[in-house]
Amino acid sequence: GIQVEQSPPDLILQEGANSTLRCNFSDSVNNLQWFHQNPWGQLINLFYIPSGTKQNGRLSATTVATERYSLLYISSSQTTDSGVYFCAVGGVNLETSGSRLTFGEGTQLTVNP
Amino acid sequence: ETGVTQTPRHLVMGMTNKKSLKCEQHLGHNAMYWYKQSAKKPLELMFVYSLEERVENNSVPSRFSPECPNSSHLFLHLHTLQPEDSALYLCASSRDRLAGGNFDTQYFGPGTRLTVL
Protein backbone atom coordinates (compact mmCIF):
# COMPACT_ATOMS: atom_id res chain seq x y z
CA GLY A 1 0.00 0.00 0.00
CA ILE A 2 0.86 3.66 -0.13
CA GLN A 3 3.38 4.97 2.39
CA VAL A 4 3.05 8.35 4.12
CA GLU A 5 5.91 10.02 5.95
CA GLN A 6 5.56 13.21 7.96
CA SER A 7 8.29 15.46 9.24
CA PRO A 8 9.33 16.62 11.69
CA PRO A 9 7.85 14.18 14.24
CA ASP A 10 7.99 16.83 16.96
CA LEU A 11 8.12 20.60 16.81
CA ILE A 12 8.27 23.15 19.62
CA LEU A 13 7.63 26.81 18.86
CA GLN A 14 7.29 30.08 20.66
CA GLU A 15 4.01 31.86 20.15
CA GLY A 16 4.17 34.04 17.04
CA ALA A 17 6.63 31.86 15.16
CA ASN A 18 6.00 30.36 11.72
CA SER A 19 6.40 26.70 10.81
CA THR A 20 6.26 24.28 7.90
CA LEU A 21 5.14 20.68 8.20
CA ARG A 22 5.88 18.20 5.44
CA CYS A 23 4.12 15.11 4.13
CA ASN A 24 5.76 12.78 1.61
CA PHE A 25 3.86 9.97 -0.05
CA SER A 26 5.00 7.04 -2.12
CA ASP A 27 2.43 6.84 -4.91
CA SER A 28 0.01 8.91 -6.96
CA VAL A 29 -2.90 10.21 -4.95
CA ASN A 30 -6.33 11.59 -5.70
CA ASN A 31 -7.06 12.59 -2.15
CA LEU A 32 -4.94 14.35 0.44
CA GLN A 33 -6.22 15.82 3.65
CA TRP A 34 -4.58 17.61 6.56
CA PHE A 35 -6.08 17.14 10.01
CA HIS A 36 -5.44 18.68 13.41
CA GLN A 37 -6.02 16.53 16.47
CA ASN A 38 -6.43 18.59 19.62
CA PRO A 39 -5.27 17.41 23.05
CA TRP A 40 -8.73 15.94 23.70
CA GLY A 41 -8.54 13.68 20.65
CA GLN A 42 -10.87 15.55 18.30
CA LEU A 43 -9.73 15.41 14.68
CA ILE A 44 -10.59 18.46 12.65
CA ASN A 45 -10.21 18.56 8.90
CA LEU A 46 -8.03 21.51 7.88
CA PHE A 47 -7.67 21.08 4.14
CA TYR A 48 -8.76 18.80 1.36
CA ILE A 49 -5.90 19.38 -1.06
CA PRO A 50 -4.93 16.65 -3.55
CA SER A 51 -3.16 19.35 -5.57
CA GLY A 52 -2.57 23.07 -5.64
CA THR A 53 -2.59 25.64 -2.86
CA LYS A 54 -5.23 26.68 -0.37
CA GLN A 55 -5.30 29.17 2.45
CA ASN A 56 -7.52 29.49 5.49
CA GLY A 57 -6.58 32.30 7.84
CA ARG A 58 -3.15 31.65 9.32
CA LEU A 59 -2.96 28.22 7.74
CA SER A 60 -2.13 27.36 4.18
CA ALA A 61 -1.25 24.18 2.35
CA THR A 62 0.41 23.27 -0.90
CA THR A 63 0.44 19.88 -2.59
CA VAL A 64 2.80 19.13 -5.47
CA ALA A 65 1.29 15.87 -6.63
CA THR A 66 3.87 15.24 -9.34
CA GLU A 67 6.64 15.35 -6.72
CA ARG A 68 4.58 13.48 -4.12
CA TYR A 69 4.65 15.89 -1.23
CA SER A 70 2.48 18.36 0.59
CA LEU A 71 3.34 21.19 2.94
CA LEU A 72 1.29 22.75 5.72
CA TYR A 73 2.25 26.27 6.74
CA ILE A 74 1.31 27.76 10.08
CA SER A 75 1.98 31.45 10.50
CA SER A 76 1.95 33.51 13.70
CA SER A 77 1.40 30.35 15.73
CA GLN A 78 -0.81 30.43 18.83
CA THR A 79 -0.97 28.13 21.84
CA THR A 80 -4.28 26.79 20.54
CA ASP A 81 -2.43 25.45 17.50
CA SER A 82 -0.85 22.80 19.74
CA GLY A 83 -1.72 19.21 18.98
CA VAL A 84 -0.93 16.61 16.37
CA TYR A 85 -1.12 17.36 12.67
CA PHE A 86 -1.87 14.42 10.41
CA CYS A 87 -1.57 14.06 6.69
CA ALA A 88 -3.79 11.40 5.09
CA VAL A 89 -3.81 10.29 1.48
CA GLY A 90 -5.97 8.20 -0.80
CA GLY A 91 -4.14 6.44 -3.62
CA VAL A 92 -5.32 6.24 -7.21
CA ASN A 93 -4.58 2.52 -7.33
CA LEU A 94 -7.88 1.18 -6.07
CA GLU A 95 -6.63 -2.38 -5.89
CA THR A 96 -4.08 -1.44 -3.26
CA SER A 97 -5.70 1.59 -1.66
CA GLY A 98 -9.35 0.59 -1.65
CA SER A 99 -11.61 3.02 0.12
CA ARG A 100 -9.08 4.02 2.65
CA LEU A 101 -7.19 7.08 3.65
CA THR A 102 -3.69 6.18 4.79
CA PHE A 103 -2.53 8.35 7.67
CA GLY A 104 0.98 9.43 8.47
CA GLU A 105 2.31 9.22 12.01
CA GLY A 106 1.74 12.91 12.56
CA THR A 107 3.72 15.92 13.73
CA GLN A 108 3.35 16.77 17.41
CA LEU A 109 3.31 20.57 17.65
CA THR A 110 3.72 22.41 20.93
CA VAL A 111 3.35 26.18 20.95
CA ASN A 112 4.62 27.81 24.13
CA PRO A 113 3.39 31.21 25.35
CA GLU B 1 -19.43 21.46 15.70
CA THR B 2 -18.44 18.45 13.66
CA GLY B 3 -21.82 16.92 12.91
CA VAL B 4 -20.54 13.54 14.05
CA THR B 5 -21.22 12.44 17.61
CA GLN B 6 -19.94 9.42 19.50
CA THR B 7 -21.03 7.83 22.75
CA PRO B 8 -19.77 7.02 25.22
CA ARG B 9 -16.74 9.32 25.32
CA HIS B 10 -14.96 7.05 27.80
CA LEU B 11 -15.42 3.35 28.47
CA VAL B 12 -13.69 0.99 30.85
CA MET B 13 -14.52 -2.68 30.46
CA GLY B 14 -13.29 -6.06 31.54
CA MET B 15 -12.22 -8.73 29.09
CA THR B 16 -15.44 -10.69 29.58
CA ASN B 17 -17.80 -7.75 29.09
CA LYS B 18 -19.91 -6.92 26.06
CA LYS B 19 -20.33 -3.27 25.17
CA SER B 20 -21.21 -1.17 22.15
CA LEU B 21 -19.89 2.10 20.77
CA LYS B 22 -22.30 4.36 18.96
CA CYS B 23 -21.70 6.90 16.22
CA GLU B 24 -24.25 9.24 14.68
CA GLN B 25 -23.75 11.66 11.84
CA HIS B 26 -26.04 14.58 11.10
CA LEU B 27 -24.45 15.56 7.80
CA GLY B 28 -26.50 13.51 5.36
CA HIS B 29 -23.46 11.48 4.39
CA ASN B 30 -23.54 8.07 2.76
CA ALA B 31 -20.28 6.61 4.03
CA MET B 32 -19.15 5.91 7.58
CA TYR B 33 -15.89 4.60 8.99
CA TRP B 34 -14.42 3.16 12.17
CA TYR B 35 -10.78 3.90 12.96
CA LYS B 36 -8.56 2.77 15.82
CA GLN B 37 -5.87 5.05 17.20
CA SER B 38 -3.38 3.44 19.53
CA ALA B 39 -0.63 5.30 21.33
CA LYS B 40 2.36 6.10 19.11
CA LYS B 41 0.71 4.58 16.02
CA PRO B 42 -1.03 6.08 12.99
CA LEU B 43 -4.78 5.84 12.66
CA GLU B 44 -5.82 2.41 11.47
CA LEU B 45 -8.92 1.98 9.35
CA MET B 46 -11.12 -0.82 10.69
CA PHE B 47 -14.36 -0.79 8.71
CA VAL B 48 -16.02 1.15 5.92
CA TYR B 49 -19.75 1.28 5.29
CA SER B 50 -21.33 2.79 2.21
CA LEU B 51 -25.10 3.11 2.06
CA GLU B 52 -25.36 0.73 5.02
CA GLU B 53 -23.34 -1.97 3.28
CA ARG B 54 -19.97 -3.01 4.66
CA VAL B 55 -17.52 -2.45 1.84
CA GLU B 56 -14.25 -2.90 3.64
CA ASN B 57 -13.04 -4.91 6.59
CA ASN B 58 -9.38 -4.23 7.23
CA SER B 59 -8.50 -7.62 8.78
CA VAL B 60 -10.13 -6.77 12.08
CA PRO B 61 -10.53 -9.54 14.70
CA SER B 62 -14.02 -10.93 15.09
CA ARG B 63 -14.26 -9.63 18.66
CA PHE B 64 -15.09 -6.32 16.94
CA SER B 65 -18.46 -6.47 15.18
CA PRO B 66 -19.77 -3.43 13.30
CA GLU B 67 -23.40 -2.67 12.55
CA CYS B 68 -24.87 0.02 10.33
CA PRO B 69 -28.69 0.01 10.61
CA ASN B 70 -29.05 3.15 8.49
CA SER B 71 -26.82 5.73 6.87
CA SER B 72 -26.84 7.96 9.95
CA HIS B 73 -25.87 5.42 12.59
CA LEU B 74 -22.90 3.15 13.06
CA PHE B 75 -22.20 0.82 15.95
CA LEU B 76 -19.17 -1.14 17.03
CA HIS B 77 -20.05 -4.10 19.22
CA LEU B 78 -17.27 -5.28 21.49
CA HIS B 79 -16.91 -8.65 23.21
CA THR B 80 -14.08 -10.55 24.89
CA LEU B 81 -11.61 -7.79 24.20
CA GLN B 82 -7.95 -7.87 25.13
CA PRO B 83 -5.93 -5.21 26.99
CA GLU B 84 -4.11 -4.40 23.74
CA ASP B 85 -7.46 -3.28 22.31
CA SER B 86 -7.31 -0.24 24.59
CA ALA B 87 -7.24 2.77 22.28
CA LEU B 88 -9.15 5.77 20.99
CA TYR B 89 -11.89 4.63 18.60
CA LEU B 90 -12.86 7.24 16.06
CA CYS B 91 -15.87 7.34 13.81
CA ALA B 92 -15.89 9.37 10.61
CA SER B 93 -18.26 10.06 7.76
CA SER B 94 -18.01 11.38 4.23
CA ARG B 95 -20.49 12.24 1.54
CA ASP B 96 -19.54 9.26 -0.58
CA ARG B 97 -17.09 6.43 -0.30
CA LEU B 98 -15.91 6.58 -3.82
CA ALA B 99 -16.90 8.84 -6.65
CA GLY B 100 -14.92 8.58 -9.83
CA GLY B 101 -11.82 7.57 -7.94
CA ASN B 102 -12.03 10.52 -5.62
CA PHE B 103 -12.97 10.52 -1.98
CA ASP B 104 -14.69 13.24 -0.09
CA THR B 105 -13.51 15.04 2.97
CA GLN B 106 -13.87 12.92 6.09
CA TYR B 107 -15.40 14.39 9.22
CA PHE B 108 -14.51 12.81 12.54
CA GLY B 109 -16.37 12.40 15.79
CA PRO B 110 -14.73 13.13 19.15
CA GLY B 111 -13.85 9.49 19.74
CA THR B 112 -14.41 6.94 22.49
CA ARG B 113 -11.43 6.30 24.71
CA LEU B 114 -11.59 2.60 25.55
CA THR B 115 -9.68 0.92 28.35
CA VAL B 116 -9.77 -2.86 28.64
CA LEU B 117 -8.75 -4.21 32.01
* pLDDT tens-place string over residues B44-79: 989 988 887 777 777 899 999 999 999 899 999 999
Q: What element of type H or E holds B77?
A: strand B73-79
Q: What's the start-to-end Cα distance of chain B, in Å?
A: 32
How close is the nearest chain A Cα to the Cα of B16, in Å? 27
- Chain A nearest-CA distance from B10, in A, is 12
Which pLDDT does position B109 carry in this prediction? 95
Interchain CB distance below 8 Å, B58 and A100: yes
Query: Could you tell me if B90 lies within 8 Å of chain A, comparing CB atoms?
Result: yes
A89 neighbors A4 (Cβ within 8 angstroms): yes
| pLDDT tens figures, A27-65 | 888 889 999 998 888 899 999 999 999 999 999 999 999
Contacts of B98 in chain A (CB under 8 A): 94, 99
